[in-house]
Structure 1
Amino acid sequence: MQSTSVPARREVTPLELFFDLVYVFAIGQLSHQLLAHPTWTGAVQTLVLYLAVYAVWAYTTWAVTLVPAEDPRTRRMLLAVMLVGLFMNAAIPRAFGDAGWVFVVTFLLIHLGRTVWLLRVGLDRREQEHWRRVLVWFFVAAPFWLTGAAADGGARLVWWAAAVLVELAGTLSAHPLPGRRLDSRQVTFAGGHLLERGRLFMIIAFGEAVLTTGAALTAAPYEPMTLLTAGVALTGTVALFWLFFSRSEHIVRHYERTEAPYGRGAAASTASWPPSPE
C-alpha cells in the first residue's frame, strides 16, 4: 500500500463544506430535542446526543486530514458518511423514543466503518497503530450503545451516557492500550486543516442561526416583543461569532508554534486544552 502524507496547510474543498451541511442540520435537530424536553433529563439527553454526533463529525474531519478530500477514496467515504449521517441526525428528536435503533446503528456504522476504512488506505505504520487503538476503544463502547438501544426510558440514557464517557475518555487520553504507546510528535497530521474546517463549520452554523432568526421574524406579527426578541437573538449570534473567532485566531497562532501539532489538533477537535501526549 502507498503511504499517505499530508501537508499542514491545505485548502478546504467544496465537498467538505457540503458534508458539513448534514451536521449543521444536526444542530437544529438537537435544538428541537431540547425544546421538546425542557427538563434536566432532557438537557442530559441532548448533551449525550450532541457528544455522539460531534464525535462522528470530528473523527471524519480528522480522517480527511490524513487522506485529502482530493483523493477519490476519500470522496466516496465522505459521501457515504454524509448519507448515513443524514438518517442518524434525522433520528435525533426520537432517539430516546422509537428511533433509538436507527440512531445507534447508523452511528456505529459510521464510527466503525470509517475507522476500518482508514486502516486500509495506506497510512504509515505509526498512524495505523494509533487507529487500531481507536478501533479497540470504539468496540469497547459499542456494547453500551447497543444495550441502551434495547433499553427503555432512563435506562437508555444511563447506557448511552456510559458509552459517551468511554469514547470521551479514549479521546482525551489518546486511546492508550496496556504496554502500547506512541509519541504523537512523530505522527503526520494536518492540524491546520482541521482547525480551518472547524472555523468554516462555525461560519455555516452561525449563518443557519441568522436564517432561522430571519424566518421566524418573517412569520411573526410585527409587535414590539417580536422585534425585541429578534434583536436579542441576532445580537447573541453576533456576540458568539466574535467570541469564537477571536479565540480561534489564538489557537491557530499556537498551533503554528507548537512542537506537538497532533496533540494540539486533537485539542481543537474536542475543545480540550491540551490532551496528554501519546
Structure 2
Amino acid sequence: MTTIGLRRMRPRDPAEGHRAASPLELLFDLVFVVAVGFAATNLHEIEAEGHISSAIVSFAFVFFSIWWAWLNFTWFATSFDTDDWLYRVMTFVQMAGVLVLAAGVGPAMQDGSFTIVVIGYVVMRLALVGQWIRVAASTSEYRATALHYALGITVVQALWVAILFLPEGWPRFVAPVLILLEVLVPVWSESRAQTTPWHTHHIAERYSLFTLIVLGEGLVASASAVIDGLRHAEHLGPLLVLAAGGLVIVAGLWWIYFSHEQHDHIRGLPSALVFGYGHYFVFAAAAAVPAGIEVAVSADAGEADLSHASVAATIAVPVALFVLAIWALALRPSLSVGWNTVVVVLTLAVLATIAVPEVSLVATALLVAAIVVVLEVADARARR
C-alpha cells in the first residue's frame, strides 16, 4: 500500500469463497435504476400516444446506453475491485454520469435530442477508462488487455461526441454503427490478450440483483398507475383485474428467472459474452413490462390512443421476450427436449393472446403461472 492510501489494482481471485456484491455495487445499481425508471415512464407515455414503433426504437437505444455502462462496470469490478478511495471516487463519477444520462432520457425519447444522454454516457465510459489505466499500471499480466480496453473505449467515446456535430437526422444512422463498435471492444480486448479473471458466482449474483431491482421497479410503477387510476375510475373491476394480473406476471417472471442457478453457464469467453450480452433482452423486457401495464391502465381510463390489440401487445411482447431470453440463457441447457418444447409453446402462446385483447392480460398471467408450474414439475422429476 502506498503513502496516499492506494492499492495496486491486482486481479481478484476468481475462486474466492463467499464473494458477494459490495455495498458500493448495490448503490451503483440503485442509481442505474433511476435511469431505467425514467426510460420506462417515457416508454409508457409515448406508447399511450399511439407511437409504438418510435417508442420501441428510442427505448432500445436509451436502454442500451444504461445497460452497457452497467455491464462494463460489473465485469470490471468482478475482476479488479480494490475498494480503495480512488476506486470509489471513480465509481461515484460513473454514478454522476448515470444521473446526467437520466436527465436526458426524456428529451432523447420524446424529442430525439440525445445530447444530454451522450454526455452522461461518455462521462461513465471515460471514468472506466481511468480504471483500466490503473490496471495496466498495476499488473503486467493483464496490461495488454487493460490497454486494449482503454484504447477501444476512448476511440468509441470520441466518435459518440463527434455525432453530436452531424447534421440533423444523421445520428440515427450512425448510432447503430457505434453500438456495434461498443460491443466489439470487449471481444477485441479479451481475445487478443489475457482474459480477465471473472468470478462466475459473483457475476451471476450481480445480474440476479439487477433483475430483481428492475422487476421491483415494475411493481412500484404498476402499483402507482393502478392507484392513480382508482382515484378517477368509475368501475373498479377492470383496474383490480389489471392489478392482480400485473402482480401475477411480475411474480411469475421473478420465479422463472430464479428457478435455476446461472453461474455454471459462464465457462469461457464465448459463453461469458452470450450470458452478458443476452441479458440486454432480459433487463429491457423487465423494464418494459410495467410500462405496458401503465398503458393498459391509461387505456382503461380512455387516455390511450391505441387499439385493444396494441394495448395487449405492450404487455405480452415484453413478457414473452423476457421468458424466451432467460430460457435461452439459463433454462434450456437444464431441461429435457420435452420440457423445453412445453416452455417455448407456452411462451409463444403469450404472444398469441394479442389476438384476443379482451382477455390478453388474464391469459398472459395464467400462461406465466403455467410456465412456473412446468419448471417446478421438471425440477422435481429431475431430482427424483
TM-score interval, smaller chain? 0.7 to 0.9
Mapped contact 1:119–1:132 kept (Cα < 8 A): yes
Which of 190, 193, 199 aligns to 2:199? It is: 190
Compute the displacement of 1:90 (Å): 2.1
Q: Which amino acid aligns with 2:132?
A: L
- Whether 1:4 aligns to 2:10 is yes
Mapped contact 2:9–2:81 kept (Cα < 8 A): no
Counterpart of 1:15?
24
Which of 8, 28, 40 aligns to 2:37? It is: 28
- Whether 1:112 aligns to 2:126 is yes
The CA distance in 1 between the partners of 2:189 and 2:75, in whole Å, is 18
The CA distance in 2 between the partners of 1:19 and 1:101, in whole Å, is 23
- Whether 1:269 aligns to 2:276 is yes
Counterpart of 1:207?
216
The CA distance in 1 between the partners of 2:53 and 2:142, in whole Å, is 40
Counterpart of 1:62?
75
- Whether 1:101 aligns to 2:115 is yes
Counterpart of 1:137?
152
Compute the displacement of 1:146 (Å): 2.4
Mapped contact 2:94–2:125 kept (Cα < 8 A): no
Higher RCO (Cα < 8 Å, 6 or more apart): 1
Aligned residues: 262
The CA distance in 2 between the partners of 1:183 and 1:14, in whole Å, is 29
Q: What is the TM-score of this pair, normalised by structure 1?
A: 0.82
Higher-helix-fraction structure: 2
Compute the displacement of 1:99 (Å): 5.0
Counterpart of 1:219?
228
Compute the displacement of 1:245 (Å): 1.7
The CA distance in 2 between the partners of 1:150 and 1:64, in whole Å, is 34
Tell me the alpha carbon deviations over residues 108-143 of structure 1, each in whole angstroms, 9 at most, x when there is no partner: 122123123221245423423123222333244335
Distance 1:209 1:3, change over 3 A: closer
Larger Rg: 2
Mapped contact 1:24–1:204 kept (Cα < 8 A): yes
The CA distance in 1 between the partners of 2:241 and 2:165, in whole Å, is 45
Equivalent residue runs for 1:160-199 within 5 Å: 160-171=175-186, 174-175=187-188, 181-184=192-195, 187-199=196-208
Compute the displacement of 1:266 (Å): 4.0
Q: Which amino acid aligns with 1:208?
A: E
The CA distance in 1 between the partners of 2:158 and 2:213, in whole Å, is 34
User: What CA RMSD, in Å, does the superposition of the two structures yield over aligned residues?
Assistant: 2.8
The secondary structure found in structure 1 opposite 2:188 is coil
Tell me the alpha carbon deviations over residues 60-119 of structure 1, each in whole angstroms, 9 at most, x when there is no partner: 112211232633332222222112211112211212648522211221122123123221
Q: Percent identity?
A: 20
The CA distance in 1 between the partners of 2:161 and 2:224, in whole Å, is 39
Structure 1 unmatched ranges of 5 or more: none
